[in-house]
Amino acid sequence: MSADYDVVVVGGGMAGLSAALTAGRLGRSVALLSSGVPGGQLLSIEHIDGVPGYAEGVAGYDLCPITQEQCDAVGVTLITDPCERIAASDSGWTVSGPGGDVTARGLIIASGTALAKLGVPGEEEYEGRGVSDCASCDAPLLRNKTAVVAGGGDSAMQEALVVADHAAKVILVTNGDGLHGQADYRERIEGNGKIELRLRSEVTEVLGEASGVTAVKIRDIASGTEEEVATDALFVFIGLVPNSAFLGGVVPLDAKGHVMVDPGLRTSVPGICAAGNVRSAGSFRAAGVMGDGALAAKTIDDYLTTGTWQTPG
C-alpha cells in the first residue's frame, strides 16, 4: 500500500470519523487509518447520552456505522491498519503501518485514549474471563450474578447502570469521597437498589479459577483493611490514557501525553492538527469530539488552500 491524499486522519473513533467526513465534504481526498472497526470507545456503548438530537440516547453500534457510511459516501478511503510511525516527507507527511505507507500534506491525529488498567494481580490473567471494559458486551451474561465495577466517574456510573439491568447485584468501588460526573447518573446510582457503593476503597487483586473470576479483594483506604468479595465479573473504568506513544516526538505532548493544540486544534507543527480525546484540554464527550473533528478538518482545509499555519493572537 502506498498512496497520496490531501488529508490523512489517524484514528477511527468519533473524532476521526467526523474529521474525515468534514474533510471529504470539503472536497479533499481523505484516508482514514483505523486500528480496528471504526467507532472507537463509543462503538460498544449501549446508550450514548448527551448527543444533541437524541433525547433517549443512541446506541454506539447504530451511530458509528451510520457515520462510517457518511464517510464512505463522500469518498473517504478507510484503511484498517494501525499507524506506527509519522515522518516528514517531500509531500508533507508519511504515515506508516504494517500495511504500508500513505502520504498527505495535512494530518489529523485522532487516536483517542485507552482505558487505564488497575495494575493489580489477576487483572491481566482474567481479562476476557470476567475482567471486562464493555458492559453492553458482557453484562447480559451476568443474570442472577454479582459484578464489581471499579471507578467513580461518568463511564463507571453509566456502565454500572447497564450492568445492574442484568446482574442481581453490582458493587461500585471508588477511591474517592463520592461519585463525580453527571448528576443524572449519580441520582440513578443512588436510587438503584441493586447497586452498593463502596467509597474510599480500591480493588487490590482479582482472584479466580480456570472458568474465570470468582472474587476480588477490596481495601478500605483509610483503615487498610482488606476484604475478599465474591463476584463473577470486574469492570474497570478508572481513567483514560492518551494513545500518543506512536507519535514518537513528532508533535509536542503535555505532561499527561495529550497532543498540545491551539484553539483551532493546530499543533505547533505545520500541517498537523489533533482532535478528540487525544488532544489537550478536550471535552471527553461525544458531542465535543465530533465538533473537534469538524474543526480540525476545516483548519487543515484552510492550510491546504492558503499554505499558512498561523496560531491566533
CB of 224 to ligand FAD, least distance (A): 30
82, 181, 270, 291: which one binds ligand FAD (CB under 6 A): 82
Angstrom distance (rounded) from CA 77 to CA 149: 38
The count of C-alpha atoms lying within 13 angstroms of the C-alpha of 187, restricted to the half-sphere facing its C-beta, is 3
Counting residues that bind ligand FAD (by CB under 6 A) gives 37
Q: Does 215 sit near ligand FAD (CB under 6 A)?
A: no
Regarding 155 and contact with ligand FAD (CB under 6 A), the answer is yes
Single out the segment in contact with ligand FAD by CB under 6 A; choices: 68-76, 105-113, 202-210, 255-263.
105-113
Site for ligand FAD in 19-38 (CB under 6 A): 33-36
Which one of 7, 9, 10, 233 is in contact with ligand FAD (CB under 6 A)? 10
Task: Please identify, using beta-carbon distances, which residue of 215 and 273 lies nearer to ligand FAD.
Answer: 273
Choose the stretch contacting ligand FAD; rule: CB under 6 A; options: 106-114, 166-174, 249-257, 262-270.
106-114
Distance CA 27, CA 21 (A): 10
**Can you tell me which of 32, 45, 160, 195 binds ligand FAD, judged by CB under 6 A?**
45
Contact 81, 90 (CB under 8 A): no
Please identify which residue in 106, 112, 153, 242 interacts with ligand FAD, judged by CB under 6 A: 112
- Residue 103, helix vs strand vs coil: strand
* Residue tagged 484540554 (cell numbers): 281
Stretch that binds ligand FAD, among 7-15, 166-174, 202-210, 260-268 (CB under 6 A): 7-15
DSSP output for 119-186: --TTTTTTBTTTEES-HHHHGGGGBT-EEEEE--SHHHHHHHHHHHTTBSEEEEE-SSSS--S-HHHH
Three-state DSSP state, 117: coil
